Amino acid sequence: MKVKHELPPIYNENSKVLILGSLPSVKSREEKFYYAHPKNRFWKTLSRVFDEEIGRTIEEKKAFLYKNHIALFDVIKSCEIKNSSDTSIKKVIPNNLNPIIKQSQIKTVFTTGKKAYDLYQKYCYPKTKIEAIYLPSTSPANCPKNIENTLIDSYKQIKEKIE
């Protein structure tokens, strides 16, 4: 199934780090916001890393991102994908990240998951010239990663790069 990314990037002129996924999941596309699947551990992990409640609404999550100088988007503009399976992704057209980078203070890029990292390296790095830092996926499909240890320890790098 051909899918076009329809969520706008979240950033402002004060954003210092950019977190990129591959493509919003089926649930995120339905909810029209990033990491919307209730079992996805993205928001819970950031909440613990920054030691603050994020809230449940889209506006509360955006406020958290802005307050902490985090930009959020995805590598893929469109592709063929089966459901939300990164392993099924084909015929990728990448997003243009340069406008986000030029209109912010972004000096660090993080990717959530191996597919996002590989696609960033292939399509985006040659244009941005900003090395990506790989973070483990927070997807419920990535169950072996324990949120108490691996995810939180890995995602602490975000806070370190902002400070």
Segment 61-100, tens digit of pLDDT = 999 999 999 999 999 999 998 887 777 889 999 999 999 9
Q: 120-140 pLDDT, tens per residue?
A: 999 999 999 999 999 999 987
Domain hosting residue 59, numbered range: 2-162
**Residue the block writes with tokens 């960033």:** 120
What total of structural domains would you count in the chain? 1
What CATH number does the domain containing 138 carry? 3.40.470.10
Full-model pTM? 0.93
Torsion of CA 79, 99, 33, 108, to 10 degrees: 100
Q: Report the share of the chain in percent with pLDDT over 70.
A: 96
Q: Tell me, what amino acid is at 115?
A: K
* Neighbour count for residue 12 (Cβ, 10 Å): 14
The answer to whether 36 and 27 are in contact (CB under 8 A) is yes
